[in-house]
Amino acid sequence: MSSEIILWEGAGLAKIPANETTPEQILTHANSRQLNARDRSQIIYAFNNQSYEMVSNFIWNKATSSLKAQLGRLGTAFIAEMLDRPDIPPDASITQVLTDYDALRLAKELGVVNPTGYLRLKHSFDLIAHFGQLSAEDADDSEFSINEAVGVIRACVETILGQDKIDVAVDFKAFRDGLESTVFDRNSTEIKHVESSPYFFKRASVRILLALVKSKSGAQLENALGNANLIIPLLWSELFPPERFQIGRAYSETVADGKTQAASGLRKVLLKVRGFDYVPEDLRSRSFRIAAQRVIEAHEGVNNFYNEPGPAKALAEMGSTIPRPAFPLCMTAILSVRLGNPYGICYEAQSYVNSILRTLNPERWLFYLDKCLRTDERILEKISNDKPFRRWVGLVTEFDLTAIAQDLRDKDVKLLLQESKDADKPQRARNILTKLEKKMGFAVDQ
Amino acid sequence: MLGKRRPQKERASKAVKAQSISIHSNLSAALPAFLRKENLHDRETGDAVGSLVTLLSNYREEGRRLFPEVFFFNDIANTLQTLPNSEQVVIGTGPKTSATLDVAMKRCAPLAQWGWSIYVMRTRTQFEYGLIRCGLTALSLTAFELLIEEGDESLPAIGIRHISQHEIEVSGACKNRLRIHFGRVRRSDDDPVLIGARFCRSIVTRVPSEVREQVHNFYRRILGGVLKSGHGCLAIVLRSRPGERRLPSKFRDGVVIEPPIDISKKVATLLKGNNCESDVRLRATAALIRGMLSSDGITVFGSDGSVRAYNVFIKNPIRATGNAPGSGGARHRAYASLCSWVGYDIDSAFFLSQDGQAEFLGS
């Protein structure tokens, strides 16, 4: 089957003619419920006074608040599971705990925005994050330009603020409702779609199921467990360790919370797939995951270069043996700091993450490269950018990852490492990454 | 017909020989089929389990009655993997005989408390024994719940536990159960555990759905402890009336708890924070409630899972019910009175006698 099958299609963009380039013109497409007349006049006023960064921040905050509020309607437990963030408590306010980057990722995964919309929002997010962390001296030298501000306004209006009501894709909603209202048959169309779809959708299906199992009761829980018993064993052989650990963790959490029916259902799934190796043995892995999440939040938040050292230090001080269930997320956090973003790295945090990287033995590197990197969207996205790619090449050289690559089973990652020798020749590596991201369903330029 | 007559001496000895009846022999007859259905059968295990049940029927150390929970399985590593946050302490090994289990009980039974259970792992020639536990908080599912009640035939296991002072249950992952009575024989529908579970369901009728399962399990475990304690108990669930917060006057002759102990709130707090403090508070509350249930008089619950009063006495129970005086003890007569109020002032009533006989009436 083709990997082009798409289970749910993101919402379209508000049509803004390409030749409309002023805030006055673009803002006429904003929905009055999302952006009232006073907001619009203030944006235009500030823009005309050349306060481009302030305008961009204002409209960005409006857009992300609206996006987070809409996502929050899906339920905190559901959001936490979709993002694989067990640290989000059930009664948390989504607008407070969701980072902007998380909100964008989720919007893309749930079809709230389409791939083009995601690309434009991500670019706006990078710009705002970059200018937000500049020192006073640097800020004087590099100002937010008029074109950049127009780009941010356009992206926010056409993807979020121009929509009457942003919502998850209709197909996604139907699929999610189906998982809790009926028990699918092995031969049903939905199951065949999931089986033949790219990894991205398989992962989303597993996460939706886990969210339902953890949050529903009664008949809905029974249906969700019935579907989990069908879908997870079907996908198990293709699932990578991060997703397998997520299932194991869900079992452990339902047992700890005394949820008999949910725990019993997940136990049956794990017995069927012989997956108890992925159940965390103790609380240590949870503490590591929380520490890694703090690093990622700091890295993806505003002022990241100032905020990264604290959480990175805390993670480094937790001990050199990272428990296996927490290892994939810890590596994402460590490599995020090490590779930085297109605008640079946090120098103060480097010593902490390097100290952790130096403790990794070849087996651990092999595990990450072979079983985790392929699904690590954050890191794949970083390596696609020029400056992080240069640092990636530095990392590959420093830790002799090409030697480890000899033992890799994942041919794409093996090729990527082989093409990561020369920082001045990123094209081949980029081609491999594009192919890899497309195969996994992560590509945004489909 | 001299050849058919028995010798005189032999006839004399037959006449004085008493008939020997052993619970153990009944058990030995039932166990092989049970173990076969549970995929744990071999001759040595059958003999050893039979002997162990008899030993546990009145197991004492230093004069103190102990009620250890014992598991049998084939594979400790795989079993522990299915028990999140589990721990194991290996105590010893020995040949597959009942003598080994005698030693195992001697060494392990005094330690099998506060969530620890005894395990016996069967190998081809030996029994390995020790202690296991699992779970994080007072709400976590127990090893018995995971291995036996929610067990799966792909992971054979049997659990042996007291369900009352005079009753032991042997149950397996394949959902077979044997109840062995050392007191008076009861009908199978008299199962005090099941009767207790019905009462627990009555306590949680109005508990918010998010925590209902956990509050139910919380009370089920408390009642499990009370069943084994050998102390009778009498408890009711008040009928909820909108806006009425005061305890009805007929239940005020006792210790009224103001404000009521709100178990749902404590459970929700633990689930939300998952911290040590909330766990300790909930465990401490469980100890309190167990003490209340083991006190004389009636323990009063709300259908929202709260504890409203204990040590409550009602007036003129005999006159109230119109029952003939002298039928049953004071507790049972009070229960009869309570039953007449079910559907009016109360939702349900639960009775447990000292010898482990349980009764329940719900509206």
Residue numbers of A between 161 and 220 with CB closer than 8 Å to B: 217
Residues of chain A found within 8 Å of residue B263, distances taken between Cβ atoms: none
pLDDT for res A248:
95
> Does B142 reach chain A within 8 Å, measured CB to CB?
no
Candidates A252, A257, A267, A273: best to mutate against B (most CBs of B within 10 A) is: A257
pLDDT for res A133:
73
Residues near A34 by beta carbon (within 8 Å), at least 6 away in sequence: A62, A66, A160, A161, A162, A163
Residues of chain B found within 8 Å of residue A279, distances taken between Cβ atoms: 81-82, 84
Candidates B78, B139, B150: best to mutate against A (most CBs of A within 10 A) is: B150
Residue numbers of A between 226 and 255 with CB closer than 8 Å to B: 251-252, 255
> Which of helix, strand or coil describes residue B86?
coil
> Does B87 reach chain A within 8 Å, measured CB to CB?
no
Confidence class for position B250, pLDDT limits 50, 70, 90: confident
Q: Which of A74-83, A225-234, A264-273 has the lowest mean pLDDT?
A: A74-83
B309 CA: distance to closest CA in chain A (Å): 27
Residues of chain A found within 8 Å of residue B145, distances taken between Cβ atoms: 260
Confidence class for position B23, pLDDT limits 50, 70, 90: low
Contact A256 B146 (CB under 8 A): no
pLDDT for res B187:
56
> Does B153 reach chain A within 8 Å, measured CB to CB?
no
Nearest to B272 among A89, A270, A283 (CB): A89
pLDDT for res B94:
95
B134 CA: distance to closest CA in chain A (Å): 9
Taking CA–CA distances from B139, the nearest residue in chain A reads A258
> Does A256 reach chain B within 8 Å, measured CB to CB?
yes
Percent of chain B past pLDDT 90, that is, above it, reads: 60
Contact A271 B154 (CB under 8 A): yes
Candidates B86, B87, B140, B207: best to mutate against A (most CBs of A within 10 A) is: B140
Nearest to A258 among B140, B155, B209 (CB): B140
Confidence class for position A143, pLDDT limits 50, 70, 90: confident
Residues near A39 by beta carbon (within 8 Å), at least 6 away in sequence: A62
In tens, the pLDDT along B330-360 reads 888 899 999 999 998 899 999 998 878 889 9
Contact B140 A256 (CB under 8 A): yes
Residues of chain B found within 8 Å of residue A280, distances taken between Cβ atoms: 84
Residues of chain B found within 8 Å of residue A267, distances taken between Cβ atoms: 82, 146, 150, 152
Contact B147, B170 (CB under 8 A): no
Structure tokens at B354: 């000292």
> Does A406 reach chain B within 8 Å, measured CB to CB?
no
Residue B307: DSSP 8-state: E
Task: Give me the half-sphere count of Cα atoms (radius 13 Å) on the Cβ side of residue A254.
Answer: 29
Confidence class for position A3, pLDDT limits 50, 70, 90: very low
User: Which of A295, A317, A318 has its CA nearest to residue A308?
Assistant: A295
Contact A258 B82 (CB under 8 A): no
Confidence class for position A144, pLDDT limits 50, 70, 90: confident
Q: Which of A90-104, A130-144, A333-347 has the lowest mean pLDDT?
A: A130-144
pLDDT for res A2:
41
Q: Which of A283-297, B61-75, B186-200 has the lowest mean pLDDT?
A: B186-200
**Where do runs of H (alpha helix) occur along A142-259?**
146-156, 170-181, 189-196, 199-215, 218-235, 241-256
Residues near B357 by beta carbon (within 8 Å), at least 6 away in sequence: B186, B190, B192
B38 CA: distance to closest CA in chain A (Å): 17
Taking CA–CA distances from B78, the nearest residue in chain A reads A276
A75 CA: distance to closest CA in chain B (Å): 14
pLDDT for res B359:
92
> Does A91 reach chain B within 8 Å, measured CB to CB?
yes
Mean pLDDT in residue range B216-227: 93
Confidence class for position A5, pLDDT limits 50, 70, 90: very low
Contact B82 A259 (CB under 8 A): no
d(CA A219, CA A212): 11
d(CA A104, CA A123): 11
In tens, the pLDDT along B87-111 reads 999 999 999 999 999 999 999 999 9
pLDDT for res B204:
96
> Does A90 reach chain B within 8 Å, measured CB to CB?
yes
User: B223 pLDDT exceeds 60?
Assistant: yes
Mean pLDDT in residue range B311-332: 67
In tens, the pLDDT along A326-338 reads 999 999 999 999 9
Confidence class for position A169, pLDDT limits 50, 70, 90: low
Residues of chain A found within 8 Å of residue B83, distances taken between Cβ atoms: 255
Mean pLDDT in residue range B230-258: 87
In tens, the pLDDT along B257-311 reads 999 999 999 999 999 887 889 999 999 999 999 999 999 999 999 999 999 999 9
Contact B199, B310 (CB under 8 A): no
pLDDT for res A196:
84
> Which of helix, strand or coil describes residue A390?
helix
Nearest to B85 among A89, A267, A282 (CB): A282
d(CA B328, CA B353): 10
Residues of chain B found within 8 Å of residue A277, distances taken between Cβ atoms: 81
pLDDT for res B18:
65
Contact B139 A256 (CB under 8 A): yes
Contact B358, B224 (CB under 8 A): no
Residue A90: other Cβ atoms inside 10 A: 14
pLDDT for res A446:
40
Beta strands in chain B (DSSP E): 60-61, 64-65, 70-73, 87-95, 117-122, 126-133, 157-164, 167-172, 177-181, 233-238, 255-261, 298-301, 307-312, 346-352, 358-362
User: B222 pLDDT exceeds 80?
Assistant: yes
Residues of chain A found within 8 Å of residue B217, distances taken between Cβ atoms: 258, 260
pLDDT for res B5:
55
Confidence class for position B320, pLDDT limits 50, 70, 90: very low
> Does A259 reach chain B within 8 Å, measured CB to CB?
yes
> Does A283 reach chain B within 8 Å, measured CB to CB?
yes
In tens, the pLDDT along A347-400 reads 999 999 999 999 999 999 999 999 999 999 899 989 998 899 999 999 999 999
Element (H, E) at B54: helix B43-56
Confidence class for position B6, pLDDT limits 50, 70, 90: low
Nearest to A256 among B78, B85, B152 (CB): B85
Which residues pair with residue B177 across a beta bridge? B171
Nearest to A258 among B82, B84, B213 (CB): B213
Candidates B82, B144, B275: best to mutate against A (most CBs of A within 10 A) is: B82
Nearest to A256 among B136, B209, B210 (CB): B136
Residues of chain A found within 8 Å of residue B140, distances taken between Cβ atoms: 255-258
Look-up of token digits 């017909």: B1
Residues of chain A found within 8 Å of residue B77, distances taken between Cβ atoms: none
Amino acid in the structure at residue A370? D
> Does A270 reach chain B within 8 Å, measured CB to CB?
yes
ipTM entry? 0.84
What's the mean pLDDT when you consider all of chain A? Answer: 87
Contact A276 B154 (CB under 8 A): no
d(CA B235, CA B360): 10
d(CA B313, CA B40): 50
In tens, the pLDDT along A179-207 reads 999 999 999 888 888 888 888 888 888 99
pLDDT for res B233:
92
Percent of chain A past pLDDT 90, that is, above it, reads: 51
Rounded to 10 degrees, the C-alpha dihedral B118/B84/B169/A218 comes to 170
Contact A255 B146 (CB under 8 A): yes
Mean pLDDT in residue range B45-68: 90
Higher pLDDT pick, A232 / A174: A232
Residues near B63 by beta carbon (within 8 Å), at least 6 away in sequence: none
User: A6 pLDDT exceeds 70?
Assistant: no
Which residues pair with residue B307 across a beta bridge? B261, B301
Confidence class for position A418, pLDDT limits 50, 70, 90: very high
In tens, the pLDDT along B131-189 reads 999 988 999 999 999 999 999 888 999 999 998 888 899 999 999 999 888 876 565 56
pLDDT for res B327:
52
In tens, the pLDDT along A339-352 reads 998 888 999 999 99
What's the mean pLDDT when you consider all of chain B? Answer: 87
Residues of chain B found within 8 Å of residue A259, distances taken between Cβ atoms: 213-214
Candidates A276, A285, A287, A290: best to mutate against B (most CBs of B within 10 A) is: A276
Beta strands in B204-345 (DSSP E): 233-238, 255-261, 298-301, 307-312
Beta strands in B48-116 (DSSP E): 60-61, 64-65, 70-73, 87-95
B181 CA: distance to closest CA in chain A (Å): 29
Residues of chain A found within 8 Å of residue B136, distances taken between Cβ atoms: 256, 283
Residues of chain A found within 8 Å of residue B211, distances taken between Cβ atoms: none
